[in-house]
Amino acid sequence: MQIEINDYYEPEHFRAISEDKYNISRTCEYEKNEMSHIHNTCEILAIEEGSADYYISGKKYHVEPYDILVIGPMEHHFRRIDRLPFLRYGFTISSIYYKSIIMDDELLKVFATPTPEDFNVYYKNINRDIFNEILNMLCYLNNEETIHKPFQSQMQRSIITQIAVVLFRALHFQRNNKNITASNTRMPEIKEYIDTHFIEEINLTSLSKKFFLHPSTISKDFKKHYGYHLNRYINMVRVCEAAKLLENNSDSVFVISEKCGYSNVNTFLRQFKFIMELSPLQYRKFVHNLKEKKYE
């Protein structure tokens, strides 16, 4: 069982990556090109042929056949193809959806971007049998989405859980038995609050009052838990939403900045350029040209 190569309409694929609960594709590039993207879903790539350099939040990851690359939600990534043809499976999944399926925080680790050091040790040249097992599960999951059958939702959730467990084992994650503190349990709640209330004014003071934690505790533990300073993460969420709007509508930059929680358009422009390395209008033009080229 295999998924057909490039069997999708590019504008619809762009939408699905950001909006569907999950999306599975098999893509092959026959020309060297570049891609700059950000979305609120986790993306898992399984490389079949060719090679490419991915820069995730500025950190380099070189992918080759039998490598697995995980790009966590809200992470800006830039891709430059190195060797053709570049063939890979892509699996994007909404964080809201996978968190509704997987209740164990330890298992959720598989949906986060690894450090370049961990990637080079654990994510490269995956055992062939395990790699093919993952591809087969993606094909079965794709089949469950395209053909309606009894207990479809239960089967989808079961396959996604299996994929997460196989990745956890294959990538040599370890269960963490450290003591759970009140602060540790609140960090996911704070992150979820930011993800759903980014249009509002959010800062350490407001979060401190809402979650009954000292601002310095939130600042220190959020960075320890997620690897980003709080303000950086808030801007990542807002820029991710802005990128989705730029891809799918013709609103002005000013309107989009307001829809994403920025009271000052210049702050929005500065943060978008810092995270995406393109201005909002440059990004809109880039995506428009990419969609037109793929549709030709």
Helix ranges, 152-264 (H) = 152-170, 182-197, 204-211, 215-226, 230-248, 253-259
From the candidate CATH numbers 2.102.10.10, 1.10.10.60, 3.40.50.2000, 3.40.50.261, the one assigned to the domain spanning 182-295: 1.10.10.60
Rounded to whole angstroms, the Cα distance separating 17 from 160 reads 17
Q: Residue 276: what pLDDT?
A: 95
DSSP SS3 for 80? strand
Top-level CATH class of 10-170? mainly beta
Domain boundaries, the chain: 10-170, 182-295
Who's near 67: CB < 8 A, 6+ residues apart? 46, 47, 123, 124, 125, 126
- Provide the residue-wise pLDDT of the chain in tens; the chain has 296 residues: 789 999 998 889 889 999 999 999 999 999 999 999 999 999 999 999 999 999 999 999 999 999 999 999 999 999 999 999 999 999 999 999 999 999 888 999 999 999 999 999 999 999 999 999 999 999 999 999 888 889 999 999 999 999 999 999 999 998 876 655 667 789 999 999 999 999 999 999 999 999 999 999 999 999 988 889 999 999 999 999 999 999 989 999 999 999 999 999 999 999 999 999 999 999 999 998 887 776 55
Burial class (CB in 10 A: 0-12, 13-18, 19+), 70: buried
DSSP SS3 for 126? coil
